[in-house]
Amino acid sequence: MIEAINYSWLVPLLPLIGFLLIGFFGPNEVTDSVFHRRKKMSKGLAGLIACATVGIGFIMSCGMFGQLFGDEAVGEIFQVGKGNPSYTVHLFNWIHAGNFNADFSFLIDPLSVIFLLIITGVGFLIHVYSIGYMHDDPAFSRFFSHLNLFIFFMLLLVLGDNYLVMFVGWEGVGLCSYLLIGFWFKNTEYNKAANKAFIMNRVGDLGFILGIILIFLTFGSIKYSEVFDTAGSFPSNQAVMITITLLLFVGATGKSAQIPLYTWLPDAMAGPTPVSALIHAATMVTAGIYMIARSNILYTLAPISMDIVAGVGLFTGIFAATIGLFQNDIKKVLAYSTVSQLGYMFLGLGVGAYTGAVFHVMTHAFFKALLFLGAGSVIHAMSGEQDIRKMGGLKKSLRITFLTFMMGTIAISGIFPFSGFFSKDEILGHAFAYNKFFWLMGVLGSVMTAFYMFRLFYLTFFGKFRGTHEQEHHLHESPKTMTIPLIVLAVLSVVGGIFGIPEVMGGKHFLKEFLEPVFSASELKMLPKELSHSTEIILMAVAVIAALASIYSAYYLFVKNKNVPPADTAHINPVQKMIYNKYYMDELYAKLFTKPTDWLSDKLHRFVEIKFIDQIVNFVGEGVTWTSSQARLIQTGHIGFYIFAMVIGIILILLYKLV
């Protein structure tokens, strides 16, 4: 098993090779390009390379997981002592300047391996699904090359053993999201969505960069092991620790779409549906969760920052859930549910439930990838239609999509014994021990999640078909390349909770034990807030009963009474209209930031650039032009004048020397 970790560098390298091969030699939509004339690769081979490079990475990740799983094997191989199974793979010396050192090395430990499994496992299924979904797209190879590059950078992000390697992956996924959201770049609106995602992430990245700089100035290193070991001796609530953690959190709010930097994520639906699944389930948006979980000891030593993380996460979760209640675009509903579920994960991190947050990342990857791919299957059958008001009755024509989508909907609603129940319950349990109000708001968000997800489910698959005759005639189940990933993800959504069955239910919570070495330093410094078993059972029952009541409400409204959301032109009450229009946040941002920036840019252009900078540059240029035009008059062509000038020159040189 030792070979798996020794060759861990292959896990990110393989998708990178896939990106290069497909990018250079895959079928290209530009017919007159050099690469097209040299084309040798078919779409099938391009898809095979893309899937294989990620699939092999998943197999290797399973090997690393198996290696870290056994304590005895860990003790023998790494000699690191019980409870600290981690291994550093040094690749090469990277930056050495003065006191600053940063090697290009990978850290293989339980946290990075869990994320490796999620990224490569779910990423592989999304790749397979994409072969069917993107089969007729002329930019087939460009899509898969970008998809592989996305996987490469995300793997780099979670594998690095220091903050600088993490930042390289961090920026890389930002670039890839820009490329994939704006994949259909001939559509201006899609380009605007890509720009929005790119720019809003740069705002968060500024905080992340400043946080890394402050970490180096404080600890003299950016390597995780050195930073965390030194930080362990710091007292709680020091100003520098609070500042570092808040700066890192600014970066996390951008990448993981939390208030106020969340509005790019719903617009990211402009990209192809498999891209939405990859961004929302396995890669980009989980980066912020990973970064805070990796830096857990820093946050544990800054309780004020943890309160802020929990508060922002909770508020984002509730806020996004209310918007999801009235959305009618099938992908937009899922997008706001992602923002809401990410809020739950940050709530978990903020209340010290580090394992619970990572657990919810894992289960969320299963059911959110399933839901997005299921939505893609619906859109595929509906000839591109995404409005759930124009669907209905699809369960007859799309049996596999219907059944798998139902599994995902139940899982995200937190119904026992589906995977979402266990991970969400763990976060809510910790929230209750930390702050009763946090728990109450968390349950409220869970109730809204169950309602809007089943509203989406009922309106899509139940009742009469509300689309056109052409769409009804075209309805059909998706090909196997699309349905097989749905089935696998549905199974994971159902049984994924077995990794974290709590003790009160007779489980050992395998994930908690596996991740214990990563979070042990934080647990030692946090006050124990254990709940009694009876309290845990009551909390579980309240959450499930509330979710079931919410599901029945959705059934009563949209199945029994056959209600359909009103058309966009219909009159609705002001509160509903405000929520439907997403609280006018985009308009507010445009008024507060975009328009003032445009105004300032215009004034700077008119009065600083044109009136000042341009005048100086033009003056210098015109001066040189005038001087040269005068100097050229010296070239008269009269030899006598040249001899005269030479004599004068000699005299001046002699005078200069004599003086």
- Per-residue model confidence (pLDDT) at position 80: 42
* Of 6 and 240, the one with more pLDDT: 240
pLDDT of residue 528: 66
Asked whether 239 and 298 are in contact (CB, 8 A), the reply is no
Chain segment 207-256, per-residue pLDDT in tens? 999 999 999 999 999 999 999 999 988 888 899 999 999 999 999 999 99
Whether residue 177 has pLDDT greater than 80: yes
Question: Cα separation of 272 and 615, whole Å?
Answer: 48
pLDDT band at 76 (very low <50, low <70, confident <90, very high): very low
The tens digit of pLDDT for each residue in 39-56 reads 568 889 999 999 999 999
What is the C-alpha separation between 99 and 201, in angstroms, rounded? 30
* pLDDT, tens only, 619-641: 999 999 999 998 888 887 888 88
Q: Is 50 exceeded by the pLDDT of residue 382?
A: yes
| pLDDT at site 108 | 94
- Looking at the predicted structure, is the pLDDT value of residue 617 above 90? yes
- Tell me the pTM: 0.90
pLDDT tens digit sequence for 549-599 = 999 999 999 999 999 999 988 888 899 899 999 999 999 999 999 899 999
* pLDDT (0 to 100) of residue 657: 83
Calpha distance 75→276 (Å, rounded): 41
pLDDT value, residue 37: 55
Which residue type, as a one-letter code, is found at position 28?
N
Give the model's pLDDT for residue 325.
Answer: 95
CA 146 to chain centre: 15
Q: Which residues of 217-251 are buried (b: 16+ CB within 10 A; e: fewer)?
A: ebbebbbbeebbeebeebeeeeeebbbbbbbbbbb
Tell me how far CA of residue 92 lies from CA of 38, 113, 144, 220, 227, in angstroms: 35, 21, 29, 20, 20
The shares of helix, strand and coil residues in the chain, as percent rounded to the nearest 5, are 75, 5, 20
Query: pLDDT tens for residues 101-147?
Result: 999 999 999 999 999 999 999 999 999 999 999 988 989 999 999 99
- Tokens found for residue 635: 């070239």
Beta carbons of 141 and 41 less than 8 angstroms apart:
yes
- Average pLDDT on 264-287 reads 90
Q: Is the pLDDT at 447 greater than 90, yes or no? A: yes
Band (5; pLDDT cuts 50, 70, 90):
confident
pLDDT at 35: 53
Predicted pLDDT at 423: 96
